[in-house]
Structure 1
Amino acid sequence: MFEKLLSKLEDPNYPLLGPNIKCLKFWGLLLPEEKTFMRKFYICVHSCMFCFMITEFIDIWYIGSDMNQLITNMKSTMLAIVSVNKVVTYLWWQKDWKNIMAYVTKADIEARTCTDEENREIITVYTRYCRRISYLYWLLTYTTAAAVIALPMSYWFSSSTYRDNVRDGTEDYYQVVSSWVPFNKNKLGGYLAASAVQSFATTYCGGWISSYDTNAIVIMVFFKAELQLIKNRCSKIFEVDDEEEIMNRIKECHRRHNVLVKYVTGIVLRFL
């Protein structure tokens, strides 16, 4: 059952990046090309998330000199800043990211057509490694998000003192994340509404982080694997006696190396 579920994430058009591209599209980091409803919807959600981050900064003003609440706020606010920065830069450089993923997909498909057993073993190893990284990182991120969302509820049911303090007004409700809302979040109705907004933001932030990070890691793993494949090809250039075939092999290794250097250098100059 679990394997069947994971197989749904595969895409024959993207043998390596299939699950990562689907994750990017699901969380709206890879926007549809056409000006469709979904493109507008994702832009709207990203904008709302940016506004939510602002409410976390506003909440700092109302916290005042309460150091415990300030530290709690800063933990989520710093993570929100990192997440929003990733999304903004990814959307701003969307064309560059798509070019890189197009190159990775093309080079990966070319490598998979090779009949050399040693190269095919390298491909199998790095594909399996990328899948493990992606799935385990997703599991870690979504589990963390679920734990953050469930923490206030578990705190409520596990501590009778906390419940009594909330009822008599000596203690405020424990929030999912610290943020400002334009209503009283220390009343039950306002608290539930605020918790719903905060839970959605936490879930979406987790989706942003998981899709962005795993995509970047898989691309870097591929760069390393491509170097291994080129090295292996170079070691076998002179295994034949045909001079024309030797020249073709040299040209192919040179071409793949130049293209790899082009995109690696482009990433360093553009993103770092």
Structure 2
Amino acid sequence: MLGRLLKKLESRTSPLLGPNVKALKFWGLLLPENVKMRYFYLCMHILVTVFTATEYVDIWFVKSDFNLLLNNLKITMLATVSVVKVTTFLCWQKKWKSIIEYVTRSDLVQRNDNNDLKNSIIDKYTKYCRKITYFYWMLMYTTVVIVMTQPIYKFISSPIYRETVKNGTESYMQVVSSWVPFDKNTVVGHIFASIYQSYAAIYGGGWITSFDTNAMVIMVFFKGELELLKLDCAEIFGTESKPVSEDTALVRLKSCHKRYVELIKYAKMFDSVLSPIMLLYMFVCSVMLCASAYQITVETSAMQRFLTTEYLIFGVAQLFIYCWHSNDVFYASMDVMQGPYNSLWWNRGKSRQKEIQILIGLLNRSIVFSAGPFTDLTVATFINILKGAYSYYTLLRQSQEGAATN
């Protein structure tokens, strides 16, 4: 059954981005042409955005409880990133569609080349894209399910909690801490609040998974395209056993030049729509990792500790995957210039050798995605963020211990 479901996510017209494009359409990031459905998705987006605003309002009411404040803050900031992702995706819809069309078009051209070595590379990164997409979906919705079922689990498993809720000394545990314009500590109020909070958690999870996996697969494509371009550059003049004519070599050289220029164009466009979000996310991730690490050390409930740990793993994985794949693109871009050097340039005339030198000069540049104007998305940046988050955690722990001592 699972196999059939996964096959339905595939697309012949988009063999690489098939599941990702379908997820973007399902969650309304790629708006449909139908006007009614378009307004339906816009209304769904507005409802979740309003819900995120109520999370900020609730911060005021829980500010006296430091643990609740940290829990609300980290979830609210992650929800804010999700809202920003969707808002920018809708505002830059034309750019995103242009990038997706370029990836699909270029991928199909390479798949139809009937080159065994290139096909093995394409198959390898396609399988990798499927694995990371489905793993990320599973990780996200495991988090969502845990968040949604935690209040029910606590009510069923803890007699003390049930008793304190009944006598009014403790409030109902919420799915996600948020403000509502009615009393959510009554049974009816709690049910309605939980339904709205669960809807926001599910739909917000859909936003995150569809946006992030689409961006990650596009990064993998850029790396794969650079590797394939390196192979094509090495075969501009054919092989020693099968050299090609001057005219064929010129056509291949022009093709490599055109492909690289187009790749640079869309890599810059991709960076322009992703960079502002990653800048915000790096700040949010630092706060989220710091808050989660602190809660794990002070939390006494095993369920709460497990939930916080899973939430921490998701936050670390989310940032790491971006930095890792951007790092891969960077090193692939530094290596692509070796392609022309591996060609049979040495047995051609001076005019062709000069053209190869021009191509090498064009390829001699790095491609790396950024987080605003301040830093690049690399593994080194990821490590620095972890170090910063640990420093914030240490300061937070010391300040709370000092306050408790006083």
**Normalised by the size of structure 2, how large is the TM-score?**
0.65
Structure 1 counterpart of 2:58, which letter? D
What percentage of residue pairs aligned between the two structures are identical?
51
Residue of structure 2 equivalent to 1:192: 191
Task: Look up the SS of the partner of 1:237 in the other structure.
Answer: coil
Structure-to-structure mapping, 1:34-45, within 5 angstroms: 34=34, 36-45=35-44
Is 1:266 the counterpart of 2:269 in the alignment? yes
Q: Deviations over 1:24-69 (max 9, x none)?
A: 01111000134x2110000001011111011111112222422222
Give unpaired runs (5+ residues) of structure 2: 276-406
Is 1:24 the counterpart of 2:24 in the alignment? yes
Task: Look up the SS of the partner of 2:9 in the other structure.
Answer: coil
Instruction: Quote the Cα distance in structure 2 between the aligned partners of 1:61 and 1:136.
Output: 36
Instruction: Quote the Cα distance in structure 1 between the aligned partners of 2:11 and 2:191.
Output: 40
Task: Look up the SS of the partner of 1:8 in the other structure.
Answer: helix
Corresponding residue pairs, total: 271
How far apart are residue 134 of structure 1 and its match? 0.5
- Say if 1:215 and 1:152 are closer, same or farther in 2 by CA, change over 3 A: same
Residue of structure 1 equivalent to 2:230: 231
Residue of structure 2 equivalent to 1:9: 9
Structure 2 counterpart of 1:165, which letter? T
Structure-to-structure mapping, 1:132-143, within 5 angstroms: 132-143=131-142
Task: Look up the SS of the partner of 2:257 in the other structure.
Answer: helix
Give unpaired runs (5+ residues) of structure 1: none
Task: Look up the SS of the partner of 1:238 in the other structure.
Answer: coil
Residue of structure 2 equivalent to 1:249: 252
Instruction: Quote the Cα distance in structure 2 between the aligned partners of 1:212 and 1:241.
Output: 44
Give the conservation status (yes or no) of the 8 Å contact 2:99–2:269: no
Instruction: Quote the Cα distance in structure 1 between the aligned partners of 2:54 and 2:139.
Output: 27
Structure 1 counterpart of 2:203, which letter? Y
Instruction: Quote the Cα distance in structure 2 between the aligned partners of 1:175 and 1:269.
Output: 38
Give the conservation status (yes or no) of the 8 Å contact 2:122–2:224: yes
Structure-to-structure mapping, 1:53-68, within 5 angstroms: 53-68=52-67
Instruction: Quote the Cα distance in structure 1 between the aligned partners of 2:199 and 2:272.
Output: 35
Give the conservation status (yes or no) of the 8 Å contact 2:172–2:190: yes
Q: Deviations over 1:96-120 (max 9, x none)?
A: 0000000000000000111111111
Structure 1 counterpart of 2:97, which letter? K
Structure 2 counterpart of 1:118, which letter? L
Structure 1 counterpart of 2:59, which letter? I
Instruction: Quote the Cα distance in structure 1 between the aligned partners of 2:122 and 2:61.
Output: 55
Is 1:164 the counterpart of 2:163 in the alignment? yes
Residue of structure 1 equivalent to 2:127: 128
Instruction: Quote the Cα distance in structure 2 between the aligned partners of 1:150 and 1:76.
Output: 16
Residue of structure 1 equivalent to 2:181: 182
Residue of structure 1 equivalent to 2:220: 221
How far apart are residue 270 of structure 1 and its match? 4.5
Structure 2 counterpart of 1:199, which letter? S
Task: Look up the SS of the partner of 1:248 in the other structure.
Answer: helix
Cα root mean square deviation, aligned:
1.1
Give the conservation status (yes or no) of the 8 Å contact 2:237–2:249: yes
- Say if 1:163 and 1:71 are closer, same or farther in 2 by CA, change over 3 A: same
